[in-house]
Structure 1
Amino acid sequence: MHGIRTAAQARAWLERQGKSVQQFAREHGVDPATTYQVLSGRKKGRRGEAHKVAVLLGMKDGIILDSPPLT
C-alpha cells in the first residue's frame, strides 16, 4: 500500500472497484454498521472490529489477528 487512506479516499477506492460498503463488509466478514461508522469517523478504529475495518480499508496501518494472542 502507498500510504494511509483518508475516509474519502477509502470511499473512492470502493467506488473504483464498483463495491458498496455492504458488499465490502460481507466479503470481509465485518459488520456493515461498523464499516459505515469507521468511514464517517464516528469510530476511530482503535480496537476490535473497528480496527479490523480500518486496516482492511487502508485507513490504518496495523495487523489483524484471527484470534486473541495467548498470554
Structure 2
Amino acid sequence: MAITVEKLKENFAKNGQTLAQWARENGFKPRDVYLVVGGQRKGNYGKGHEIAVKLGLK
C-alpha cells in the first residue's frame, strides 16, 4: 500500500534521517529523490519510478 508524502516526511523526521541521506544510502542522487517527493517528477517510469517504489509512494 502506498503512503502519502506527508506520512513519508513524518517517518523520516521521526527516524532522524534526511531524504539526502536516504538517497545516498540507496544509490540515488539527492536531487532526484527531492524531485520525486516534491512532485516535480511523477515517478511513472525509469529512475523516478524506482525511487517512488523504494520510498513506498507507489
Over residues 42-65 of structure 1, what are the superposed CA-to-partner deviations in whole Å (9 max), with x where a residue is unaligned?
Answer: 1111111111110111000xxxxx
Q: Distance in 1 between matches of 2:34 and 2:20?
A: 9
Higher helix share: 2
Letter in 1 for 2:11: W
Relative to the length of structure 2, the TM-score reads 0.89
Displacement, 1:14?
Answer: 1.3
Bigger RCO (CA 8 Å, 6+ sep): 2
Is 2:2 aligned against 1:4?
Answer: yes
Larger Rg: 1
Runs (4+) of structure 1 exceeding 2 A deviation are none
Over residues 11-55 of structure 1, what are the superposed CA-to-partner deviations in whole Å (9 max), with x where a residue is unaligned?
Answer: 111112211011000110011111001111111111111111101
User: Where do 5+ consecutive residues of structure 1 fail to align?
Assistant: 61-71
Q: Distance in 2 between matches of 1:13 and 1:58?
A: 11
The number of aligned residues is 58
Relative to the length of structure 1, the TM-score reads 0.75
Work out the percentage of aligned pairs sharing the same amino acid.
Answer: 34
**What RMSD over aligned residues (CA atoms) do the two structures have, in Å?**
0.9
